[in-house]
Structure 1
Amino acid sequence: MTWDAAATSPVERIARVLAGHELSRNGEGELRSAADAVDMLWPEYTAAALAILKTMREPSGRMLAVGDAGVWERMITAAIEDETISES
């Protein structure tokens, strides 16, 4: 199977989901269409997104049963390093 690479970083994608969840009426917000607000405000959610990503470094038992823990850890660590290196 061939996978497409995402156009945005995992931290940005998580931050956008957090912003959308807070702003959109499909989540906890009031906006019918939150796309423009998410585009403007997602950077405010990057610290929370990075914290979420850091918690994902350790796979669950079910994840371990179906995949390679070493690969998972390296992929999550790379995503964290990409974000923290770009902040330096």
Structure 2
Amino acid sequence: MDIATTGAIERIARVLAGRRLSDNADGDNPHAADAVDAAWRSYRDDAIAILKTLREPDVEMERVGDVAVWLRMIQAALDQAETDPG
């Protein structure tokens, strides 16, 4: 399994920025990488809200995994967000 070197909050924020900016999604920029680099911090609060929503796994998630591990992983990402303001 690959392990990301970038924190979950930043990765989610970058995806949100990319969806807004890139013409591969909802934007109009054919080369959005630099724009995403400049804008992702503006999507940080949205990323945190998404992770807070995911604290509660749904029935399918609970069925296939360890909820206690899931909760600790999500909390670790949220704790990292508090100590690293981006």
- TM-score range relative to shorter protein: over 0.9
**Unpaired runs of 5+ in structure 1?**
none
Among the aligned pairs, what percent are the same residue?
Answer: 52
Q: Does 1:29 align with 2:27?
A: yes
Tell me, in whole angstroms, the C-alpha distance in 2 between the residues paired with 1:71 and 1:79: 13
- TM-superposed deviation, 1:25: 1.1
Question: 31, 36, 42: which one pairs with 2:40?
Answer: 42
**Structure 1 counterpart of 2:26, one-letter code:** E
Aligned Cα root-mean-square deviation (Å) = 1.0
Match of 1:10 among 8, 23, 30: 8
Consecutive unaligned residues in structure 2, runs of 5 or more: none
Runs of 4+ in 1 over 4 A off after TM superposition: none
TM-score (norm 1): 0.91
After superposition, what is the alpha-carbon deviation per residue over 1:44-87, rounded to whole angstroms, capped at 9, x for unaligned?
Answer: 11011111111010111000110000000000001001111234
Aligned residues: 85
